[in-house]
Amino acid sequence: MGGLVYGYITNFFTYETTKSVVVKSWSVGIINRIVQLLIIAYFVGWVFIHEKAYQVTDTGIESAVMTKVKGFGYHHNRVMDVADYVFPPQGAGVFCIMTKLIVTENQFQGKCAEYFVHLSTFSTFHLAFFLSLSLTTGVITGVCLKSSNETKGQCEIEGWCPAENDKVKVEPMLDVKNFTIFIKNSIRFPLFNVTRGNIPPTMTSHEIKNCVYHPKTNPFCPIFHLGDVLSYTGQDVTDLGGEIGINIEWKCNLDLNIEYCIPKYSFTRLDAPFAKNSISKGYNFRFAKYFKTENGTEFRTLHKVHAIRFDVMVTGKAGKFDTIPTLINLVAAFTSVGLGSVLCDVILLNFMKGAEQYKAKKFEEVNVFSVIALPGSLLSLKTAMKSSGDSGAISLSASDQAL
Amino acid sequence: MGGLVYGYITNFFTYETTKSVVVKSWSVGIINRIVQLLIIAYFVGWVFIHEKAYQVTDTGIESAVMTKVKGFGYHHNRVMDVADYVFPPQGAGVFCIMTKLIVTENQFQGKCAEYFVHLSTFSTFHLAFFLSLSLTTGVITGVCLKSSNETKGQCEIEGWCPAENDKVKVEPMLDVKNFTIFIKNSIRFPLFNVTRGNIPPTMTSHEIKNCVYHPKTNPFCPIFHLGDVLSYTGQDVTDLGGEIGINIEWKCNLDLNIEYCIPKYSFTRLDAPFAKNSISKGYNFRFAKYFKTENGTEFRTLHKVHAIRFDVMVTGKAGKFDTIPTLINLVAAFTSVGLGSVLCDVILLNFMKGAEQYKAKKFEEVNVFSVIALPGSLLSLKTAMKSSGDSGAISLSASDQAL
Amino acid sequence: MGGLVYGYITNFFTYETTKSVVVKSWSVGIINRIVQLLIIAYFVGWVFIHEKAYQVTDTGIESAVMTKVKGFGYHHNRVMDVADYVFPPQGAGVFCIMTKLIVTENQFQGKCAEYFVHLSTFSTFHLAFFLSLSLTTGVITGVCLKSSNETKGQCEIEGWCPAENDKVKVEPMLDVKNFTIFIKNSIRFPLFNVTRGNIPPTMTSHEIKNCVYHPKTNPFCPIFHLGDVLSYTGQDVTDLGGEIGINIEWKCNLDLNIEYCIPKYSFTRLDAPFAKNSISKGYNFRFAKYFKTENGTEFRTLHKVHAIRFDVMVTGKAGKFDTIPTLINLVAAFTSVGLGSVLCDVILLNFMKGAEQYKAKKFEEVNVFSVIALPGSLLSLKTAMKSSGDSGAISLSASDQAL
């Protein structure tokens, strides 16, 4: 009984290791080591050093953006300040700076001539067509106005009158190029609970107020000269407006000092993918200011605003050493080194002189096919074993069993 | 000395490969190949082809959305245009389209009767209760107004007067169903630096202006008919307003032609998770237009706006071939194929006829337990080795070598 | 012919398994099992249970946030309601609540004295300096005004007049601390198509309307008391305004019941990373209300708003069992257990008594170096094989068997 338990224990505390064949051959040995070297170099150089496969990464960056525009512009014989030309005023991450304003003053609800459509005759077909396109500035009543002078053949619309004429020529407010944009961006990587801001703590209040961003000389200044931003994107969008993306990229290796976790700014034209389509050039929107006459009738001033829209987009990736990816990649590396021997085996067993000898050494055979092929015929050879290329071995071992 | 170096070098350029036992048996052989086939099929079919484990994926999509609504609606005997019913006007990715407006005109600061609360008696308890709920339209002064007619037992409030009565019955602006929404969405996958827009470059300006999105017949048209969008979500939210999500999904396999990287639109009701709670039906907000009387007193018109809020949400995933995931998965695949032999070993060594013979062939024993068990007793057998069941094999193979 | 095919088939249906050396030794056996135990414990405990490496995760959360503020405040002898103090009014995820208002009434376009700059002399240098800083409230005309009394040595500006004096002392609206914020957040994990809302379906309408969020006693109430939120961040920002982040974190293990997929709220001060910079204390922006005189001249009231800006930021991660990560990690685990034998081999072959004997058993040598070293000299020894250093070992073991 005690012997049985002892037997189990001794069986448990055994150590099993593979039996290896060591081939002492220059050619195979050198090929083997070169293959191993290449695999190790790939893993060390590319997987671990370049791709940082030992890190766990966090791409779910949390970001808050605050913006503030400064500058004055002349437009329509007025001095425009921030309260006039920035939409919305709260300083969000997406904001618009007006470049051109088409104002239609004193609109009242009523019926009037449409500016857009100039036709000598007007049919139901046209009516349906214009309605479908929503090209008018109000609801078409179906009445055709035929005044003698310039407004020949216009449609009558119901809505805010007089109708907007947005074909009028207005000079853009070129002063926008002198405006500055201050961007405050604070981010957090929730996985690592790391918080960073886009203004280096070493910058003094005076430095921040007086600097202007430049990709080479002043890459951490949070104040951007609008003219510069436009030139970085290679666009002049002051006439019709446009959409500019200000990308703040945070690529942080948290294994290094946190001070190296810094923002990188880049500027793109967001409507670039639509360059091939000839539609919707520029960027514009309409808004109205509402007023009341003395007797309480509401009227409005309609503004068609051509603007540059800025989207501050924050992307980020942080990596930090972690045992799980490290271990998985290490195991992959070790196993890959082992897989190199597959190649060497193919060479050794097929293309080398003495391949048959290697085969004989590497493989031992246990042949039971005969049993299935000839069932019952040779009971004494029930499990005929053959250590291929060493036939005698088997006969002895068989007799050994027979004892 | 030179011989020693030569010895080191020859020792280094050796090739070590595992010694294998080849079992020629129909049953084990077939089981082995079937298990291997299943593992390979799983890896090729599921891991590589279906799950694209050979790709590195980027989910940190960068997106900019621009929207433009078109259409006219009649409400409160007025024609409403975009400047009247879209909030905010800038055409952001999140915007509201008014469906119903409850207007409280000419509010001045002062004291007046509360519309909401109709009580015959008024106590401090009620005061605290209403204050805590913030259900009133102003600060309750504590004075109880007891007028003879319909405004019996109302509280007096201080604030903008007259108080808002949002229980008034207003017909929703059903024209919203005929409005159209134009969505321009440009995205970028920062990892691969791939930029795409939601309008196919092959669409002409004329096609874009005249198309209407339809999931089957026109899936790439960027113009959405509002009534269709509502019907896709199975909701009629024109009365109380609601929140609709327009999801643009970019699933891009960048190993294929970039032209296959196209958006897929879907529409959901965002307040669906709150369906079980009977609170906050619909969607509404309040805003005010401010006016001044001739003598400079400010007054306002309060608007309670029931609106449909649209959230254009962009999600995306791009995959591209990369050596690291490919290699790690390939190694996992190869190793898994190898692990299949564990199963076969269990069968071979336990359930097959002649299992003892296999064991004898597979395992060679080195027994040092006796040494520990009987220390010093048998010094000559210090490391008693036993080439289990095939002792003869070695001597023979040795003699084989000697030939 | 048939025999050849039969041969191919029998060769295919063979089963190859590594030949193993079983070492029966207490020391190596125990070390081996301990190493294996540690590796298994690491994988089971850390990789699988703690890090949930058997799951595929989705971090690309889709989120829609709707907010509603309630409460009344006294400011400038007025009762302020939601329409007055929330910007923008639509109830977006990013919104501002006014705490202090500096009003500059009745501004008309024209020329007037600058409030900000008080200089006895005025030079071109100053002009350039102020222009560069955009510190003025209008365009400096270059004219220096030298009035006899208090406005001594001011610059003249062109723009909206009178100029804003934002140095005026205004008491903040402390009532903001009694305001409540209602947050409705619906999320979706696109990978698993799981939709959740931040209000538990078990809460009744009455419960929701009357609760106030508390991290311990009421963690799922969607109504936040503004004073509490400020105290959670440890900040009093009612004077100059500030930026508060309300983070909603969704960490969902979708292998469990979906009811466990619940939000977790946390509150941070977003401008914390800028604490070391002494710039841009607080948060403020300017907006204007526009009016018209009887004769049609536009004038405005400029508002400098100090506000608390709230950013509701939603982050999330959902995990669900998936075969691919499970398999890859299982393979890594199995292979790692195998790699444990590398350590044991080192011990066995170098530090154990009888290491030479083990080596002899583990390694079989095929030596072809001699052939290359002495080409053609010993043809009979072309592939001299030697079961290295273990000739005696074998004979012993052989005799051992024979016993």
Cα distance from C49 to chain B (closest Cα, Å)? 21
Contacts of A22 in chain B (CB under 8 A): 14-16
Q: Using an 8 Å Cβ cutoff, are C85 and C71 in contact?
A: no
Q: Within a domain: residue C314?
A: yes
With 0-12 / 13-18 / 19 or more C-beta atoms within 10 angstroms meaning exposed / middle / buried, residue A364 is buried
With 0-12 / 13-18 / 19 or more C-beta atoms within 10 angstroms meaning exposed / middle / buried, residue C209 is middle
**Domain edge (last residue) among B273, B296, B321:** B321
Q: Using an 8 Å Cβ cutoff, are B176 and B226 in contact?
A: yes
Q: Are residues B273 and B259 in the same domain?
A: yes
Q: Within a domain: residue A368?
A: no
Count of A-C CB contacts under 8 Å? 221
Q: CA-nearest residue of chain C to B160?
A: C79
Q: Using an 8 Å Cβ cutoff, are B283 and A6 in contact?
A: no
Q: Are residues A341 and A249 in the same domain?
A: no
pLDDT given for residue B386 in this prediction? 38
pLDDT given for residue B139 in this prediction? 79
Q: Within a domain: residue B188?
A: yes
Q: Are residues A251 and A224 in the same domain?
A: yes
Kindly indicate the confidence band of residue C382, based on its pLDDT and cuts at 50, 70 and 90: very low
Region A7-30: mean pLDDT is 81
**What distance in Å separates the CA atoms of residue C366 and residue C384, rounded to the nearest whole number?**
7
Q: Which subunits sit against A, judged by 3+ Cβ pairs under 8 A?
A: B, C
Q: Within a domain: residue A74?
A: yes
Query: Helix or strand or coil: residue A311?
Result: strand
pLDDT given for residue B351 in this prediction? 79
Residues 6+ apart with CB under 8 A from A293: A299
Kindly indicate the confidence band of residue B11, based on its pLDDT and cuts at 50, 70 and 90: confident
**What distance in Å separates the CA atoms of residue A282 and residue A302, rounded to the nearest whole number?**
19
Q: Are residues B81 and B213 in the same domain?
A: yes
Cα distance from C72 to chain B (closest Cα, Å)? 7
**Residues annotated in a binding site of A for ATP:** 68-70, 180, 284-286, 304
Q: Can you list the positions of beta strands (E) in C191-297?
A: 194-197, 223-225, 242-253, 263-269, 284-292
**What distance in Å separates the CA atoms of residue A246 and residue A261, rounded to the nearest whole number?**
19
Tokens of C133: 């800083």
In chain C, how many domains are there? 2
Q: Using an 8 Å Cβ cutoff, are C317 and C58 in contact?
A: yes
With 0-12 / 13-18 / 19 or more C-beta atoms within 10 angstroms meaning exposed / middle / buried, residue A7 is exposed
Please answer yes or no on whether C336 and A327 come within 8 Å at the CB atom: yes
- Provide, rounded to the nearest whole percent, the portion of chain B with pLDDT above 70: 81
Cα distance from A206 to chain B (closest Cα, Å)? 34
pLDDT given for residue C33 in this prediction? 87
Tell me the CATH number at C238: 2.60.490.10
Please answer yes or no on whether A184 and C271 come within 8 Å at the CB atom: yes
Q: CA-nearest residue of chain C to A68?
A: C285
Question: What is the tens place of the pLDDT at every residue in A32-91?
Answer: 888 889 989 988 888 889 888 899 988 888 899 999 999 999 998 889 999 999 999 998
Q: Of B198, B312, B185, B177, which Cα lies nearest the Cα of B244? A: B312
Residue that has been written with the tokens 């405004």 in this structure = B151
CA distances (Å), origin A30, targets A336, A359, A383, B157: 18, 20, 40, 95
With 0-12 / 13-18 / 19 or more C-beta atoms within 10 angstroms meaning exposed / middle / buried, residue B161 is buried
> Could you give the residue ranges of the DSSP H alpha helices within A72-199?
82-85, 124-133
In single-letter form, the type of residue at position A185 comes to N
Kindly report the average pLDDT of chain C as a whole number.
Answer: 79
Region C69-84: mean pLDDT is 90
pLDDT given for residue C98 in this prediction? 93
Please answer yes or no on whether C291 and B291 come within 8 Å at the CB atom: yes
With 0-12 / 13-18 / 19 or more C-beta atoms within 10 angstroms meaning exposed / middle / buried, residue B310 is buried
**What distance in Å separates the CA atoms of residue C114 and residue C126, rounded to the nearest whole number?**
13
Question: What is the tens place of the pLDDT at every residue in B367-398?
Answer: 665 444 444 433 333 333 333 333 333 332 33
pLDDT given for residue A376 in this prediction? 40
Residue C143 or B400, more confident: C143
Please answer yes or no on whether B64 and A245 come within 8 Å at the CB atom: yes
Q: Are residues B33 and B177 in the same domain?
A: no
Q: Are residues C327 and C222 in the same domain?
A: no
**What distance in Å separates the CA atoms of residue B265 and residue A217, rounded to the nearest whole number?**
44
In single-letter form, the type of residue at position B338 comes to G
**Domain edge (last residue) among B300, B321, B342:** B321
Residue A235 or B152, more confident: A235
Please answer yes or no on whether B245 and C62 come within 8 Å at the CB atom: yes
Question: What is the tens place of the pLDDT at every residue in B296-326?
Answer: 899 999 999 999 999 999 988 899 999 888 8
Write b or e for each residue in B24-53: b if 16 or more Cβ atoms lie within 10 A of its Cβ, otherwise e. bbbbbbebbbebbeebeebbeeebbeebbb
Q: Within a domain: residue A193?
A: yes
Please answer yes or no on whether C62 and B87 come within 8 Å at the CB atom: no
CA distances (Å), origin B392, targets A387, A396, B400: 12, 6, 12
Contacts of A302 in chain C (CB under 8 A): none
Q: Are residues C223 and C339 in the same domain?
A: no
Please answer yes or no on whether B138 and C81 come within 8 Å at the CB atom: yes
Q: Are residues A329 and A225 in the same domain?
A: no
Cα distance from A274 to chain B (closest Cα, Å)? 6
- Please check the confidence at residue A267 and state whether its pLDDT lies above 90: yes
**What distance in Å separates the CA atoms of residue A197 and residue A207, rounded to the nearest whole number?**
16
Region B262-269: mean pLDDT is 92
List beta partners, residue A102. A304
Residue that has been written with the tokens 């671990």 in this structure = A48
Q: Using an 8 Å Cβ cutoff, are C166 and C114 in contact?
A: no
Tell me the CATH number at A42: 1.10.287.940
**What distance in Å separates the CA atoms of residue A401 and residue B202, rounded to the nearest whole number?**
81
Q: CA-nearest residue of chain C to A89?
A: C287
Q: DSSP code of C387?
A: -
Q: Using an 8 Å Cβ cutoff, are A98 and A71 in contact?
A: no
Largest distance between two CA atoms of chain C: 128
Rounded-to-10 torsion of CA C10, C15, C16, C19: -120
- Provide, rounded to the nearest whole percent, the portion of chain C with pLDDT above 90: 29
Q: Are residues C256 and C203 in the same domain?
A: yes
Give the angle subtended at the CA of A31 by the CAs of A29 and A37, to the nearest 5°: 100
Region C117-136: mean pLDDT is 51
At A7, give phi and psi (nearest 5°).
Answer: -65, -45
Q: Are residues B261 and B194 in the same domain?
A: yes
Crossing angle between the packed helical segments A391-402 and B391-402, to the nearest 10 degrees: 160
- Please check the confidence at residue A292 and state whether its pLDDT lies above 80: yes
Q: Which domain holds residue B46?
A: 21-53+322-355
Q: Has C69 been labeled as part of a binding site?
A: yes
> Could you give the residue ranges of the DSSP H alpha helices within B272-378?
323-350, 355-362, 369-373
Q: Within a domain: residue A255?
A: yes
Side-chain-facing half-sphere of C54: CA atoms under 13 Å: 13
Q: Using an 8 Å Cβ cutoff, are B265 and B213 in contact?
A: yes
Q: Within a domain: residue B367?
A: no
Q: Using an 8 Å Cβ cutoff, are C167 and C114 in contact?
A: no
Side-chain-facing half-sphere of B346: CA atoms under 13 Å: 4
Kindly report the average pLDDT of chain A as a whole number.
Answer: 79
pLDDT given for residue B280 in this prediction? 62
Q: Of B390, B384, B382, B342, which Cα lies nearest the Cα of B363? A: B390
Q: Are residues A265 and A189 in the same domain?
A: yes
Question: What is the tens place of the pLDDT at every residue in C22-44?
Answer: 888 788 888 888 888 998 998 88
Q: Within a domain: residue C137?
A: no
DSSP B79-133: EE-HHHHEESTT--SEEEEEEEEEEEEEEEEEEEE-SS---SS--HHHHHHHHHH
Q: Are residues A90 and A101 in the same domain?
A: yes
pLDDT given for residue B378 in this prediction? 38
Q: Which subunits sit against C, judged by 3+ Cβ pairs under 8 A?
A: A, B
Kindly indicate the confidence band of residue A145, based on its pLDDT and cuts at 50, 70 and 90: low
**What distance in Å separates the CA atoms of residue A59 and residue A62, rounded to the nearest whole number?**
9
Question: What is the tens place of the pLDDT at every residue in C169-225?
Answer: 888 998 899 999 999 999 999 889 899 999 888 888 788 888 899 999 999 999 999
